[in-house]
Chain A
Amino acid sequence: MLIRVEDLSYTYAPGTPLERVALQGVNLEIGPGERVGVLGPTGSGKSTLVQHLAGLLEPTAGQVWLDGVAAHARTAAARARRQRVGLAFQYPEDQIFEQTVFREVAFGPRYLELGAAEITARVRWALEMVGLDSPAMEGRMPLTLSGGEMRRVALAGILAMRPEVLILDEPTAGLDPRGRRELLGRVRAWQEQIGFTLILVSHNLGELARVAERAVVLARGQVVADGSARQVLSDGESLRAAGLDVPQTVALLQALRQAGWEVRTDRLLPEEAVAEIVQAAKLGLAKSVSLRKPEREEARL
């Protein structure tokens, strides 16, 4: 599905004392199968934007097109397209309400008026995708599961709709490091296997660096950067101007560069930064690290 956002503006509570402009003239095009990270400080408009992509909000001005149809329109064509956009809000497990895991995951597909066999097949497939496939699990009460398991059940409910676009708003918030790693690994595997468009909203630059190939930065309701994840996430100046942190790998490489090292600064993952530093040291681009290092070590001893 092709998503086109055209001059999109949105104002909350217009004409009241609580009026607040959330989006101002946003333009964006996201093609099928792209992996896009969306970042920006609180209040920058990220959640407002993704709700427009799912057709949940009607633009104050401008338009969001899903394959050429206005996303929020009250037509059969628009509804069909909205059903192909899966949006997981922050803490999606808060919205779980069914009595069993099976019924919870089946809720969306039932709404699509599929046959019983197809619904069962989709629920089983979705639970397998999130790693919760077992007959015992299907009958469990969601509220007796751990937080991480509940989140996976909530995501299975969205996957069971077989979306062409999957939007995840801070999917790993509140999970511990292992839980975060596991969930992100799954998201990447789903994307590779199914090929849907992935839109990931996150404050965690490390996560974005691992999952997204393209990054869009919002600040004060406007797109202030849009490009390859590597380029956007290593542009310290514009990240800081948008009120965001600079990835620690980038900050380190920038500090080394200032000290005269010939290193690239667009290395976002710790292993990439290490490779860059080791290589620079080897090639003698680092003002003879290897010579000076031992002295310093001795001085410490």
Chain B
Amino acid sequence: MDDKRNNLMKKLSIYICVLLALFASLPAAAAPMEEQVVNIIVTSQKYDYSSPWQKGEITRANITGCVIDGNRIVTSAYAITDNVLIEVLKKGEPRKYSARLLIRDYHCGLAVLTVPDAEFFNGLKPVEFSEGARLFGETARVYKWDAMTNLKEYSAELNKSSIRFYEPGCGVLMHQFSTVMNEGGNGEPVFINGKLVGITTGLSSETKTLYALASDMIRRMLKDLSSGAYEGMPFFWINSVDIQNDVNLREYFGMGSGDSGVMATDVPSISSGGDVLKKNDIILSINGTPIDDNGMYDSGRYGKLYYYGLIHLDKFVGDEIRMKILRDKKKIDVQFKLKPIPDNCCVIPLISNDRQPRYYIFGGLVLQELTIGYLESFGPEWKKKGEKRMLYYYDTVKSMADEGADKKIVILNKVLPDPVNKGYQYYGNLVLKKVNGTAARDIAHLKKLVDDSQGRFVMFEFAGNSSIVLDKRSALTGEKELLKKYNISSPYNDSDE
């Protein structure tokens, strides 16, 4: 009996000690959340891809960000797309401060802001980043400014951490939480034990899943920034397939029983390693870390992660990547330097946010470059409802990458009805092939082809074999009137801004 009681006492005292220790280690030093989490009001105006000469609807959104050192604020890049004005508020105070964008990188999904009026940061403290132990099973807290005055706290359970692809060719480390939140996914910081583990970038209200970019991505970005000019994520843009356990495939490609990896199936030359890797190379390891047959590696803290993590999580442009690959049944070592994401790389730009559509209006024909933004103008189900040929180009953009960086797909969006284009007024959603017999590489080239054409007529040929001929002089004479009628300020935009 006594023994038992003694045991119980012993256990209790141990518990108390542990509890005390826990209290001691709790973020006593950490500042209250409202000193770390700020409210951001974003006014945005998207471009109107269907009428590319004008901007569309104006929206105002209330999002969240958190303070990092150097009087900066970090939030989700997707939450501030197409912004015209960014204002920040703190601690529920009514004063709005204008913020300035330092960096916005859609490839890693993050934006860093600063506030010119340094007074804003008085009384604010930078967040601490989470480090070290595994996060699984921990309860997270999400903070969101509601109605500008009320900092709400939600709890969330970490389901998994994985590499996801928000933008083509860019693997980002993303945490997925289950949550009770109905609104969010717009830059709210997520904390575990008072330390930042991520910044939210999306919320599925159907599955109640909150997506957050891991704080590792923020640290990576800050490190990149601190080295001077921001270079962004490295460009690794290949297609690959997991070998799985496919015994036939393994035997056919001569993989040993201990070998595992992923097979490269498409390697555009503009990708990092594009000059080194070949189709059907099996990547066995990257910088000494073995890749398993599901394409995963053991990351330690986050468990198994997809192999892109080895290239995108803590590597920078200019770093060297060593790979062991199996090619023609022989193991060889290859190495290459990581290249930056090219500004201009493929027939459909990787990202069209914040860029005015490049267009050219001639004789009422609205010609523009095909962008993701244009495809999205077919509606939320654009991958089903978009024009099939354009979707095909979207799907095969990688295999068209080697046609040259300045090659774009030029389309006829629509025809603005006018006497000069009588008979063509139902033409639209066509892919331009040639102008006066010459392939148009992009909008600027198209404009030049039309400007320089000497003959009386300008001939436009489209995929699907339809064609349009306009009388150049009539088109030019009527241009001013046409633009006025349709309230168009400029007949073209070929700038990259």
**A, B assembled together:** no
